[in-house]
Chains A and B, each alone.
Chain A
């Protein structure tokens, strides 16, 4: 199992319609996890333009993650999930993995980005070992 590395980016809570039209700026490859209709975590983003006066935009360093290949995902993660994954790709899935609250960014390649809060990092890594 790959090590869980810190994920840095921006977390934004805003009007869902405004989030749909948001413009992210940052590292070359910004990965946006839309964890709720009104909330997104944009990994790699450094700034954002959003049309919502009341939007909450915060730098985020509280998550860790690992990019997994399809083989790694099937071997390490799938056996530890007790809930149905969405069939659509790419898509976000959220729930317990090995009993630890986690998120998955499921890619079209079959691989996935495994994400959890840094506070759970050791616990999740230990359970996936």
Chain B
């Protein structure tokens, strides 16, 4: 297949219909049928008297969708392009409806279902020639003479081009897997396809295009009593039926028994037959060229010719894939869909298996007859062929989700892991309510390794942080910390976290798990923009963090060797259970909480030591489900979950975190400009009796939807549901309906509003 300037032969890696197995038997719908050397599956079936597909004109050239079967469990395979081999299992599609989808039996969405992995190769070349006919070979020869690297892709040799993307890149399906070819230039030499008939009865079996008939004749098949309509194959011995094609007539087995034609006077003639060969002309096979967009593609040979369109159809199925009839076209036209692209969308003509290969010439002709202008062909998009999901995804990867150094500990404790903020995190350990009570009444461990962690240092670091954050930074003393919002230039909250001062010119910044990557880029961009001397080290994945929280957290840490844990918003560097930690005192749960940031190679040791030391204290780990409930009781906002893209501190009720008296910070001009303006959106707290409604539930007032719930939790401690949610209509109502029940707007925090427990 790949051919450089000095190579002498064209060598495809593909095993093809033409050079497949010598002979043998395949299994069609449970019955064995023989095949001969050189047969495709379609020809083997026809040889055995079976109809591939469920009827319609066969082209045996891969242009239409009339010979689709399921091969070894893969549906929508063109049997004319499939090579038989002994034991190959072929099942015909149902005559109506679609073949059944494969059943996924594994219900665990956290585990990818087993699937076939398709290999992918990538190569680069100067020129890709698509099509192995005379035009393609000539293009290849010219390029070789010019000393260029050439790859010739010939469907007949098993290399099916399924897409051309920008780059350009040509995606090829080969029997040995997918091939991605990067090329500087592409030549499309895909020839022309034969026109399919549009007339009543064109869905019957026994109809062949001229070239298909030639192919079957060469394969030695007996086609029975055969007549030809239009231009018959050269040298054929078929009876030629003259006149205009009117319809095909079938027998009870849905096979053609006669063709009816009419002369110029309209006089009809019925000719009995078992096979009709149709020589109705050709249309450029230019789908790939139309798919190429701005890629450097040239079209040569028959694919580039301006071939006359067939006469406009008047009756019958136009698009065999979708079953669209001329009557359907007329209905769409009368409803105002009077352009080709609109007709396509309104009737689904051209969106099926062959992507317009059979119907496009007829559609253009039909529209041209109504508008006196021939429309351009509709846009072609990948893929031109039905490919499996495994083939489509070959060489691509889903997002990689990270694992904390405690991943296996969570699994060992029965943690139900889920993806959150780019990480695998424990959602719960089997009993989220017990986890909640451990935090509220005893002590609990949470894995917060996923938080963003940056170290910043430099002579300009204070100046930088003052510009970056809307809170004061200069007055944070070493060993102290402050909560901070991160705003963009429009004053919208893009993240939040802590600022911890380590020394005169050194700080540690924390960010949300999901926002850490963007925050890092944000920090680096502004340092560069302002030309400040600040170094940045991202330790997000280098350090793990365990949150020790609950009224007994302090006691647990003392047992672990931290004699004097820091007071609220303080932080120290100290060993805990022998592991060097940066201990930060803050709280997201509403209870006393200490985050132990430490090198990841000490995580398991630290976690196990704390769990062991806390056994008699009722220690339990808590997952995200409990954590989200705990924070809701405190009314803590999670940026990205509760906030929206344009949430200002005012809308979130967090003006207290903004110091407008500062000379400058990112977002200040926008906040100053919008402060006097009325606002119609605000995040509120809500309470109501009973169960918590689903997050995302609409909030109604006076019969109108006025907002939605962002977070909800049935508080075991408070005995009712607590929520955060948006109200987006003013005046803001005090009573609303959520989930069909009355809820009231309530101030937050719902729990320990003075914050005494967190500071205890």
Contact = CB atoms under 8 A, between A and B. Distances in A.
B402 to A, nearest CB: 4
A117 B400 CA distance: 12
A40 B404 CA distance: 23
B526 to A, nearest CB: 16
Contacts of A123: 400-403
B537 A127 contact: no
Contacts of A72: none
A99 B457 contact: no
Contacts of A60: 542
Interface string A42-70: 00000000000011101111110000000
Given A56-B535, A117-B402, A123-B401, A62 B455 contact: no
Nearest to A119: B402
Contacts of A118: 405, 541, 600
Contact of B403 (A54, A59, A122): A122
B398 interface: yes
Interface string B410-436: 000000000000010000000000000
Contact of A62 (B396, B423, B461, B541): B541
Contacts of A124: 400
Contact of B459 (A6, A54, A101): A54
A83 B715 CA distance: 51
A79 B119 CA distance: 10
Contacts of A62: 539, 541-543, 599-600
A119 B403 contact: yes
B536 interface: yes
Contacts of B599: 59, 61-62
A99 B400 contact: yes
A61 B542 contact: yes
Interface string B523-542: 00000000001011101011
B393 to A, nearest CB: 11
A56 B542 contact: no
A54 B400 contact: no
B601 interface: yes
Given A82-B122, A98-B397, A119-B403, A54 B537 contact: no
Nearest to B533: A54
Contacts of A11: 537, 542
Most B CB within 10 A of own CB, among A15, A60, A124: A60
Contacts of A119: 402-405, 423, 541
Contact of B535 (A6, A38, A127): A38
B458 interface: yes
Interface in B320-340: none
B68 to A, nearest CB: 33
A79 to B, nearest CB: 8
A118 B400 CA distance: 12
A26 B162 CA distance: 55
B505 interface: yes
Interface residues of A, number: 33
B122 A61 contact: no
Interface in A87-116: 96, 98-101
A114 to B, nearest CB: 15
Given A122-B403, A123-B402, A127-B397, A58 B539 contact: yes
Contacts of B457: 13, 54-56
A120 B121 CA distance: 25
A15 B458 CA distance: 10
A101 B535 contact: no
A120 B400 CA distance: 7
Interface in B491-515: 505-506
A82 B232 CA distance: 50
A99 B398 contact: yes
Given A99-B400, A127-B397, A54 B505 contact: yes
A8 to B, nearest CB: 8
Interface of B: 120-122, 395-405, 407, 423, 455, 457-459, 461, 505-506, 533, 535-537, 539, 541-543, 599-601
17 contacts: A13-B535, A13-B536, A13-B537, A56-B535, A58-B537, A58-B539, A58-B542, A79-B120, A82-B122, A99-B399, A100-B400, A118-B405, A120-B400, A121-B403, A122-B407, A123-B402, A127-B397
Nearest 3 CB-CB pairs, A to B? Answer: A99-B397, A62-B542, A119-B402
Given A15-B535, A61-B601, 4 more contacts: A8-B601, A13-B537, A56-B457, A119-B541
